[in-house]
Structures are given as structure tokens and as C-alpha cells.
Structure 1
Amino acid sequence: MDGTQEIRDAFAGAEAFGAGGHYGGADAAPPEDPRPPEEIGSEYSLNDYGNGLRFLLYGGRERSLFVPRVGWHVWTGKVWRLDEDKVKIRALAQRVGGRILEEVPFVALSEEERLALDAFDAVKKERAKILAKDKGERSSADLMRLAEIALLEDEATAARKALASRRRSHTNHAKAAGDTAKINNMLTEASIEVATPLDRLNVDPLAINTATGLVRLVPVVGSDRWQCHVEPHRREHMISKIMPVDFDPDAECPLFKDFVERIQPDQDRRDFLRRWFGYSLTGLTGEQKLVFAHGSGRNGKSTLIDVIAKMMSDYATTVPIETLTGSEQRKGSDATPDLVRIPGARMVRASEPEHGQKMKEALVKALTGGEPILIRRMMQEFVEVTPEFKLTISGNAKPEIRGGDDGIWRRVLLVPFEEQIPDDQVDKGLPAKLWEERAGILQWLIGGALDYLRDGLKIPASVLAATAEYREHSDPLRRFLLDACEITGDPALFTPARDLVEAFQAWQERAGNEPWGKRQISIQIKARSEIMQHPDSGARFTAAKVSDTGYRGIALTVAAAADLRSRRNIGPGWLDKRDLR
């Protein structure tokens, strides 16, 4: 066998199953072959490609798929589970050697060899009849015929030897199939047949995989309401996430509801949090928001977020707060090991930013913007993924957001947790008790998702007010421009840019804060000159260049000018020399 038919079959299979292998592009299952699988496998070539086909033949096609740059997934009966360490996929591959041994009896004669055996079998009686004659009675025709039959016997013997040799080779190949290198090669070749793009997994953003079935959120026909229904787990759903929680529409969670009411007495905020976490249960990202649960210790926010994240399991992940805050910036070629778990995640949490830490605003915008981002494991290639997650941050200290534009602030929702549980009322066993109500909490979450689908987030006024206050306190440059400057809009009033920069640094030092760098201040003032209006007068200031680069329509107040004089050790006459051009 030269493998020609095997290659033809592979191409035929590629056409039938699509460019992505069996699950990579096809809707139809492979055609059924009525023969025993060992007979089919006996025809595969004795090389790594043939072993890859055998891996699929003996269960690998139904039980595994390969996502390029992510890894092998194994079907558990409920979910396509990522096999990061290849433990389960290698266990499947290790069984192939034994199945190859079972193929040996099916290693068959070629058509030419079968014809040779049949030809010899057909003349055996004729040869026996001739040999029954005495040698002296055999004619020359008999002798010629015996010579012809001898040639047929030689061809039949060669056919039997060739079959025996192939079966020995098959046996030896079966023994070698268990070698580590052979298993590696087998899986490499098999991966091509079951390669599945990452975007084929978890396609439905309104499907939630639970321990008892796949829950789908669907609209009620002719209504603005939504409902859910449950389907049995199936491989064809292509779901790689699961919650270790049963879907039980009759389940209740009285303790959980009491707990939420205790830590959030405000009904509007409780309803908002239910909608937010219900929204986080889906793969929708249209809101482009993040929630910052803010409050001092012993207020229940961490317990609430922990139990929901634990329930969501595969659908939730945690990133270090250092990913989102601080001054360290990644290079474009750097690996992103802290982000490798976000593909398919619907809830991402981070906690406890340190006081004074700066938010990495560009990264947060990218993560919450709904556009594809690049992530990379160590020593691997980049993978492009589209975020599906909603970001929930919790902590006592608010990260510093220096950008004054709406690009970042329209994403932020600060939810105050203002209650504090007294020490003598802290229940250390509460997380375990809440976990016992997980089926009921899932119903609470699904109810929040259905409410969100009907009404949206419906952000409470108290959350908007708290966020506005956060923005006000996070924007020291705006406060400086309003408190230490006079914004008149008068084009005759000109202040050099360097004066504004240094006056802002002096203002920060006076407040006991670490001053920003001059370059950053210059960039931020320039940005404000294009968008900022005085809240009372509506006046603006604009960038201009006279003898120096500066701004028209703005001047330092007398107090701010005095601070700047002091910082520069300049006499009081400096104030009278401000440019009025």
C-alpha cells in the first residue's frame, strides 16, 4: 500500500468536514462506515499521520478538539474542557497502541496478492492430478503445466510472506506507538483534523452552561420580556465554560437576599447590582462599563463578589490589580500571562488598589471597549480575542484617574458600600452558608440578567452622584484650573504654558501630594484647552503662541501667582509683569 487512497480519503474528508476539520467548519457529522473500526484503521499508513487518523478513529474525534494557540479540549459530557497539561488527551493517545494491535488480523492482502493466491488455489487439483501420474506417464504438456503452476505457487508464497511481513511491521508499529515522541507526533497530526478557531467556542452570548444543562435566555415573542429555557448538554453547542451549579427554577436563597440587603440597604442599588451581575452572566459587552465597589473594610463587598465569582467558575477570572493600576507599561511584544484566562470569561475581578495608584487608562479602555485585543502566553504566539467580560473592581482606596475626558469616565460606575458590620456580628462561616444556596443565587442572577435585557442597567442616581464625586476628586488639574486660575475667555489675557505647569506643581505640593511630571501636565493642559468650559460662565481658554507657547483667556489667581513666586524665589514685582497681550 502506497498511501494514495489514504490521501484521497483525507482530501475527501477535508471537503466534507470543512477547512477547520470535523468541528472547524462542518455542520454534518462524518459519514458512517459500517466496517469495524479496526478494519478501517488497518488501512492507515504506519507513520505519524496514520496514527493521528487512528487517534480520531478510536474516539478522539468525538472526545477532543484543538484550538490553535490555546490548546487541546476534551469533552467531559457537559463541557469542552481545556486540557492545559494534556493529561487527558495524552491518556486517550496512549490507548491507540493497543488498538493498533487489534488491527493486525485485519491487515489484508492486496488485490494483486489475492489474485495470486486465488490463481494458485484454482490449479491445486490440476497439479495433484498431474502428480498422481507416474513420472514416465507425464507428457511434455504436463511438465510444462507443472512449471507454470510452480510459478503460480511462488507468487502465492510471496504474497503470504508479504502479508506476514506487513503484519509483523504492524505489530512493531503498535508497540512503538506508545513512545513519548510517537504520542507527541500523533497528537500533532491529529490536531489538524480537529482544529477549531477560538471564535467557534461559546458563540451565543446569552447561553449559560450549568451543571444540569445549557440555559438560554430568549425573548418572549410579542413582548418586551425575556425568559430562559434549558437544553441538554451537547458537543455541538461548542461550550468550553461551565458553572458548578444546578439550574433549579424553584431554588431560593433567603440568607443571600438578607445578606445583600444588610450590606446595601438602598433598594435601587441592590436592584442595580443584581442587574450588573446578571449582565455579567452574559457575553454581552455593549455597555462598556466597569463597576468599582468602594468602601472601608467589613462591609460585605468582597464576600458578595467572591461568592458570585465562585459560582460563575469558568465564566469568571481574576487579574492582579497591578494589571490595571501603576506606572509600569508593557511593550507591544511583551507576554501577557495575567490576561491569558480572559478568553471566554464574562466576569473579571480585581481588588484592593493601593492608595494613590494610577489607573492604566488606555488598558482599561481597551479591555472594556468591546474591540479585539492581543494576548500571549509565555513563549507562545499572540492570540486575538474579543473581550466578553465585565470588569468589577473592589477596594478601600480609589485608583487615581488622571484623564479628564469622557473616554475613561463614561466607563466608570462607583458603587458605595457604606455599611460596616460590627466585629461581634461578623460571621466567618457566611461564605460557606451562602455557597449552600448557590442554586437559588443562580436564579437571582438569571433574574437580574432578564431584567437587564428588558430594561438595561438603570443606573441609580446615587451611583451617578458617587461617580461624579469620584471624578471631581480624581481630577486635580481641573480643580487647579477652577480654583487657582481665572478662566475668562478674554483673548487679551495670555499666560505662558511654563507658568501654568509650575503653578500646578506648586499647588500639588501645597496640598501635600506628589507633583505630576512637567510633560504630563503640559499634555493634559493642552487637552483641557480643547474641551473644558468654566461651569459658571462657559468661558474657555485656548492654546496660543506669542513670544512663548501659552494660553489665551486664562490667568493665575493672585494666590497661585504668589505660590509660584515663592517656588521660584522671585520677588513680588513678578506678579505685575504677567503678560496682557
Structure 2
Amino acid sequence: MARTNVLPADAPAWVTKDRQINELIYSCSFLSVHPMKCIHGRFFTVDGLVPDEGGLKQIIFDDISEWKESGVARKVDDLLKTIKLMAYSEDIPLHYDRIHVANGTWYLDGRFIGEKEYCRNRLTVDYNPDADMPVVWLRFLSELLIPEDILTLQEYMGYCLIPTTKAQKMLMLIGKGGEGKSRIGLVMRSLLGINMNTTSIQKVEKNDFARADLEDRLLMVDDDMDMSALTKTNYIKSIVTSECQMDVERKHEQSYQTLLYVRFLCFGNGALTALHDRSDGFFRRQIVITTKDKPADRVDDPYLMDKLAAEKEGIFLWCLEGLQRLIANDYRFTISERSKANIAAIVKDANNIPEFLTSEGYLTFHEDSKAATSDLYAAYKEWCEDNAENALSMKSFANYLSHYSGTHHLTPDNNIYRGKGKRCRGYRGVEIIDHNNPFL
């Protein structure tokens, strides 16, 4: 049945006499019913980021479908663009002194207010000071980790609740498989909701668009870390410290500068390594926790996640304890001796040059000695063969000596005499032991 051109008395104010839609009036009406801010082209409400614009388009479609017979999809898109322009806002300031929870705002000084304000991140858990002790969660952790490492995990999970990278650390949980460590990531999802992203740490380093997906996220979880070594570590190190804005790019959009405050939580069967970066800075940013072995007779509980989800209010209080302890310790984590040993072992595995330089039978150190870099590398390769170690490349070896010569009391010299009138780069203060010398 054809529609009449006469507008009914109850027609919306944004419908004109000729049954057209006034975009400005409609957008004002929409935002009065659905208050939002638009930042970098994305909508935020008092509940945080609106993850999917599809729901907004559906509301617009329902509003206008009675008044528009053709070109409806295009009009929906046009109206959404107008709403974005009208809702434009500068960045919402980051709040370091409070946590926005589902039922209000909890302040780090212990106060709770049952009111909401615009924020970058709102958690999907209520603050309930009377929540029961999370007994299933605590039992699960006691079977997974040693007590000292549970403290570290508690502090790190609390650290992920506020938008700061002051601690400048990423956490990795390493095990042989089947221990259940990835349940921790699912628990964090139940607390953080859309404020957590799941992807690959390798992808973050290699893919420009992957870094944009970390904007306004509190946590990124890699639940099955790739064992292959990273070819570069620049972006990961920058994000872990994140002291200034960095360039991010979304598909079909102009790149822009933003501050990322996401934290990394990775689960895997081995450590995160790099092909070329063997600097102290790369390893200093890592906390590595190893899990207990899975008991041979353990029967997995298929309802474990349901039980943990039911305890999330209590788990949240447990996380707050860790956060308060971390802040009281000036953002320095509780690190067990076992975790320290893990990092030491990873550093040793990634770079065996320091072990070679401190080994016996290959080098001697005294002020009036000298050696060419190429000869030192030959001695290093011999040491690797004798000790069943993999030798790093000549370039990696030379770069290490260049950066850490002072640590080993070596003096760089570009005028080392090699005979036959040839001179080359090398170091003073070290000499290669000649095993063919009959007097040794």
C-alpha cells in the first residue's frame, strides 16, 4: 500500500514535510538518547569502547525504515558519519587513580562510588567487597605455580587493571603443555571483556595493523606463543615501556599517533627469543614463570572455567591486593629466585658469547696483549664445537664485542697488526691461547 505524503502528527522532528531525513536533527536526537563520544573515529560511552558499530547501524535502521523506502543502507551509513562528526571529542584522559568497574568506580585509596563517567576502559566485573574467597581459583594456582610465583602473577594481573606501563614488564608463563596455564587468560577475559585482545606477539612486531588493534586495550594475551625467534623487537620493547606516543595505522585510514598502554601476557612451551637482539633491554623487560609439571594421574575438570567465572568478583579482589602491593613497592614486581634463574638461563641460551669469554683454555687477558676480531671469532667457533653449542654469526659476535668491550675490560683497536703488512680491527687486553705452542 502506497504511503501518504501527509506526515502523521507523531512523526519524528527529524522527518521533513517531503518525508526526507534531516541529518543534523536526527543526529542530535540520536545522541540525546544514546550519549556517546567519538574519538579517532570510534565511539565511547560511559561503559567504554563500543566494539561493534553494527548495533548502532541497526538502531538507525529501525528508526528510519518507516520513513525511507530506497537507499536505506546508504542513508544509515551517512547518518552514522554525521553522528561521528557531531560526537567528536578529544581523547578521554587516562585515569591512573581509579578502576572503572561494571557497577561504578573503585579508587586506589579504597573508595568506591556507584557512579559512572566516560572512560577508555570499563571492566566487566562488579566491585563487591563482600565477595567470597575464590577457593577454586586459589587451589588451581597452587597446583600450577610455586607460592612465590603466585605472588608475581597476582601483582601482574592487578597491574593489568589500570592504564599504565610504569612497571615496564611483560609476563610469560612457560610449561610443557596440558597444565592449564591458558585458563589464566580466560579468567582475565572474564574480568576485562573487550579491554583485552588475543593475538600473537609475533604479529604485533610484524604487522602494522595489529598494533592499532591494541589501542585502548589493557591486555594482550598470546595463548600459544610461537617458538620461532623474533626478527625484530623494536615495537615490542616500545610498547612494554610505552613512555610516548607511537604511530599506528588502520586499514584504509591515515596513520596517527597514540599512546598504547597494553600489557603482554604470553603462554607457551618455550621462551621468547630474538634472532638479532641480545641486548640487556630485551630480556630485562621479561618476567618468565615456569609452571609445575602436570601430575600423571590428574583428571581435568571440564567445568573448571564455569567455576572460575562464578568466582570472578572474588578473583577481582585478589587482583586488587596484588595491584596495591605492586604500587606500594614502586611498581617493582615480586620475583622469585626460580624466575630469576629462568631469565638467566634464557639469556645464556640466546647468547653464549659471554660464557666463551669467561671460559678457560681459549683466551688470556692482560694489558699488553691483543687479538684481531676475526681470530677471536675463530676461537669462539672452536669453543662452540668443543661444547656442543651453536655459534652465532660473525656479525653478531663483532656487534657484541663492540657494545660490551668495556664489560670484559677490552679496548677496541682498529690497528691490530696481522703480519704481511696487514692491519685490521681487534681488541687490546686479550690474547688467543696457541694450543700448538709446545711450551704451554
TM tier relative to shorter chain = 0.7 to 0.9
Match of 1:179 among 72, 75, 78: 72
Match of 2:6 in 1: none
Report the Cα distance in structure 2 between the residues aligned to 1:215 and 1:385, rounded to whole angstroms. 25
Match of 1:376 in 2: 249
Report the Cα distance in structure 1 between the residues aligned to 2:81 and 2:175, rounded to whole angstroms. 51
Distance 1:67 1:496, change over 3 A: farther
Amino acid at match of 2:412: T
1:71 aligns with 2:39: no
Match of 2:239 in 1: 367
Identical aligned residues as a percent: 15
Check whether the contact 2:190–2:312 (CA below 8 A) recurs between aligned residues.
Answer: no
Structure of greater relative contact order (alpha carbons < 8 Å, 6+ residues apart): 2
Match of 1:442 among 275, 298, 316: 316
1:323 aligns with 2:323: no
Match of 1:51 in 2: 22
Match of 1:214 in 2: 104
Distance 1:423 1:465, change over 3 A: same
Check whether the contact 2:51–2:194 (CA below 8 A) recurs between aligned residues.
Answer: no
Match of 2:353 in 1: 477
Distance 1:436 1:189, change over 3 A: closer
**Shift of the alpha carbon at 1:447?**
2.1
Amino acid at match of 1:501: Y
Check whether the contact 2:169–2:285 (CA below 8 A) recurs between aligned residues.
Answer: yes
Report the Cα distance in structure 1 between the residues aligned to 2:118 and 2:70, rounded to whole angstroms. 30
Match of 1:408 in 2: 282
Check whether the contact 1:52–1:187 (CA below 8 A) recurs between aligned residues.
Answer: no
TM-score (norm 2): 0.82
Report the Cα distance in structure 2 between the residues aligned to 1:214 and 1:44, rounded to whole angstroms. 44
Amino acid at match of 2:377: V
Distance 1:343 1:356, change over 3 A: closer
Amino acid at match of 2:92: R
Match of 1:200 in 2: 92
**Shift of the alpha carbon at 1:281?**
1.3
Amino acid at match of 2:54: V
**Shift of the alpha carbon at 1:410?**
2.4
1:301 aligns with 2:181: yes
Question: Which runs of 5 or more structure 1 residues have no equivalent in the other structure?
Answer: 1-35, 100-173, 220-226, 534-538, 560-571, 577-581
Check whether the contact 1:544–1:552 (CA below 8 A) recurs between aligned residues.
Answer: no
Distance 1:52 1:306, change over 3 A: same
Match of 2:260 among 378, 387, 395: 387
Match of 1:553 among 422, 429, 432: 429
**Shift of the alpha carbon at 1:274?**
1.0
Q: Residues 278-357 of structure 1 correspond to what in structure 2 (within 5 A)?
A: 278-323=158-203, 330=206, 336-355=208-227, 357=229
Match of 1:116 in 2: none
Report the Cα distance in structure 1 between the residues aligned to 2:40 and 2:381, rounded to whole angstroms. 48
Match of 1:540 in 2: 410
Aligned residues: 418
- Secondary structure (helix, strand or coil) at the match of 2:213 reads coil
**Shift of the alpha carbon at 1:365?**
1.2
Report the Cα distance in structure 1 between the residues aligned to 2:61 and 2:68, rounded to whole angstroms. 11
**Shift of the alpha carbon at 1:61?**
4.5
**Shift of the alpha carbon at 1:477?**
1.9
Larger Rg: 1
Match of 2:304 in 1: 430
Match of 1:90 in 2: 57
Match of 2:157 among 259, 277, 281: 277
Check whether the contact 1:489–1:540 (CA below 8 A) recurs between aligned residues.
Answer: no
**Shift of the alpha carbon at 1:288?**
0.6
CA offsets 1:68-91 (integer angstroms, 9 cap, x no match): 544345x4xx6144253x322223
Question: Which runs of 5 or more structure 2 residues have no equivalent in the other structure?
Answer: 1-9, 417-422
Name the structure with the higher helix share. Answer: 1
Amino acid at match of 1:82: V
Q: Which runs of 4+ in 1 moved over 6 A?
A: 42-47
Check whether the contact 2:149–2:336 (CA below 8 A) recurs between aligned residues.
Answer: no
**Shift of the alpha carbon at 1:229?**
1.0
Check whether the contact 1:37–1:58 (CA below 8 A) recurs between aligned residues.
Answer: no
1:522 aligns with 2:398: yes
- Secondary structure (helix, strand or coil) at the match of 1:448 reads helix
